[in-house]
Amino acid sequence: MKKFLLFAAVLLTLAGCKKESEEPVTPAAPDKISVSPASREVGGEGGTATTKVTSSGDWTLGTADGKSYGWVTSDKVSGKNGETVTFTVDPNTEAELTAEFVFTCGKAAASFTIVSTPAEVRTPVLEVTSEDPVEVDYAAGEFTVELSVTDVDDVADLEAAVDGSWVTFNGPAEAGSVAGTARMNFSYSANDSSDPREAEITVSYPNADPVTVTVSQKGKPVETIEITSETEVEVEYTEGTLQVNLEVSSGISVSEVKASVSQTWLKFIGTDFGAPGTAVMNFSYEANPTSVAREAVITVQYDNMDYGSVTVAQKGDPNAGGEEPGGDYLITKAAYMKAHCAGVAEWKTPEAGNLGTTFTVEMLLKHDKEFEYTSSWNGNGIGTMFGLERRFLLRHGDNQSNYQEWELVYVLNAKEDNGDHIESKVKSSMNIPADEWVHIAAVLDGENKTVTIYQNGQSVGSAAMDPDIRPVDLTETYPGYEGEQKFYLGRSYANNRDFCGLMSEVRVWNRALSAAEINAENHFYTVDPNSKGLVAYWKMNEGEGYIIKDHTANGNDLTGEVYSGNTWSDGMEWQDVRLP
């Protein structure tokens, strides 16, 4: 019995000695330190050499061999991350001297070498000439840092160290458009936090003092709306309803979430609460009475801001015949431009209008039956189809002996004595017909230096492009006769230079279309809004209202205007047509 009790006591003692489990220990982050630049040369006249220290903590400065140098001194022997150290170098009239310094942070070290030579040394100079600090939005994007550089042999050797992992140098650097300049491109990731953040870029070059640029990024807006349902929806030709699902932040007033709809057959009903953090937008659509499919765009809006869009494609009625209203016709509405014009009130995507010297403009036109020099309205034989006065125009009537002759007009960089740019013209060998639909196109090919105009797919005029051509930018404005000169359809120079007739299918491409492309099947009457190089597409088939939609993703809609009582006001006249 005694033996049994003794054995139990031993077991209890061993159990009490069991080692408790230990919490895992996170290893400390490794020490880091670097300097930029890592070496400098100073000429015999002496001077200063600087380097910037990037470290994970406090640092100290010493020498590699433990000795001191009487010809060079530093302004700091210790410091913190991001500090710049300046070394003063005495004049040198003897042999080349070398000093090796070591910056230490914990167990990490970085060396810095200074060479003093009696020979003359070119010292490169860097200077930031672009905006500093650079301010960017919370979404991902890109920006460019521009520099003035002196005694830099190759800008590709410029280096950039970024204090912040969300900014990336897209090297190498490139020479700027002006001698002695350089461009460095950077990209940045989206900021998913509502707090703003900063990063510092240090640009360096061998033997040059580094320069810094601060990048400041906004925080993500607290109020956010994201479309969570499909952004491309197809519905049947019969009437019905559809919903757009949203994810909304807590600060959003759901009842105030609205929708802008590009076509009247699709109507916004209202926005309702969904599950927590979500909302549902409700729409109804009418039956499509034609055999031709149609499309509308929903833009989600809140507090005067856009939060994405949904494209709704409705099938055509397979039972609709050609004799039904609009049945089997690609175009059933067109804008009547006599005493009317249409321009961009505000360029949502201005880069789409910056065309340069390579682009194509095309449209469908139907002039009234009469071509008169003096009519009840315009009092002038010139009729403007497209463009901007003294920049780029498609017009007819400049030839007073033949008002049906049309022409392309572009300008040169050179100017006349009165300050106007000198015009260059390509005239059509075929007239615009009266009371008949016609397709016209103008193709400028800056690569092959040619200008060609087409009528119904046939070349009716061509010329070599003047080497002094002024690049075309439709967004340009300038003071002129009877008000500001800007881009319009159906108006230029003066109020009375309208186009007396119908207009449809106006398109602008940022490339030179070939004759085969212009003559492709049904190209006169419709193209895919997502076609390569199509930067503006005004179908002009709304049939109501005065806003003319740009069917490309650029969204540069036109605002129609009507001239009455010697003033312009919002308005547009629509007529029923059947094309082709």
230 closest CA partner among 120, 150, 310: 310
Q: Which H or E run contains 518?
A: helix 515-518
| CATH class name, domain 225-314 | mainly beta
What's the confidence (pLDDT) of residue 25? Answer: 64
**Residues linked to residue 331 through DSSP beta bridges, in sequence order:** 579
Q: Which residue has the tokens 């119904």?
A: 456
CATH 2.30.40.10 assigned to domain 33-116? The reply is no
- pLDDT class of 381 with cuts at 50, 70, 90: confident
Q: Is 322 helix (H, G, I), strand (E, B) or coil?
A: coil
pLDDT at site 327:
52
Give the pLDDT confidence score for residue 131 in this predicted structure. 93
Q: State residue 479's pLDDT score.
A: 86
Question: What would the pLDDT profile of 157-167 be if each residue is shown by its tens digit?
Answer: 999 999 989 99
How much is the pLDDT for 375?
A: 39
350-538 sits in which CATH class?
mainly beta
Q: Which residues pair with 567 in a beta bridge?
A: 564
What residue type is 258 in one-letter code? K
Average pLDDT over residues 318-342: 77
Read off the pLDDT of each residue in 106-119 and give the average, rounded to a whole number.
89
Give residue-wise pLDDT tens across range 44-72. Answer: 888 899 999 999 999 999 998 888 898 99
Asked whether 136 and 218 are in contact (CB, 8 A), the reply is yes
- Distances, alpha carbon 247 to alpha carbons 222, 243, 437, in Å: 13, 13, 48
Which token pair is 250?
A: 């807590």
Domains 125-217 and 225-314 share a fold: yes
Cα–Cα distance, 515 to 362 (Å, whole number): 12
Instruction: For residues 575 and 564, give the distance between their C-alpha atoms in angstroms, rounded to a whole number.
Output: 19
Q: From 194, 329, 205, select the one nearest 251 (Cα to Cα).
A: 194
Q: Which position has the higher pLDDT, 81 or 320? A: 81
**107 CB-near residues (< 8 Å, 6+ apart):** 30, 31
Is pLDDT at 24 greater than 80 in this prediction? no
- The pLDDT-based confidence of 566 (bands split at 50, 70, 90) is confident
The tokens describing 518, both together, are: 């212009």
Provide the pLDDT for residue 66. Answer: 83
Query: What confidence category does residue 290 fall into, taking pLDDT thresholds of 50, 70 and 90?
Result: confident
Note whether 139 and 16 are within 8 A (CB): no
CA–CA separation, 143 vs 215, rounded Å? 10
Once rounded to an integer, what is the mean pLDDT over residues 257-266?
Answer: 90
List, in order, residues 6 or more apart from 16 with CB less than 8 Å away.
none
| Domain chopping of the chain, boundaries | 33-116, 125-217, 225-314, 350-538
Q: Poorest-confidence range of 11-25, 152-166, 272-286?
A: 11-25
Of 9-13, 82-86, 144-148, 173-177, minimum mean pLDDT range: 9-13
Q: Which residue has the higher pLDDT, 193 or 328?
A: 193
Reported as a single tens digit per residue, the pLDDT across 390-439 is 999 999 888 777 888 999 999 999 999 988 999 999 999 999 998 999 99
Within 13 Å, how many C-alpha atoms sit on residue 246's CB side?
30
Give the list of residues 6+ apart from residue 309 with CB closer than 8 angstroms, or none.
231, 297, 298, 299, 300
CATH class of 125-217: mainly beta
pTM of the predicted structure, to 2 decimals: 0.47
Residue of 312, 316, 311 lying closest to 293 (CA atoms): 316
Which amino acid would we find at residue 550? D
Mean pLDDT value across the chain: 88
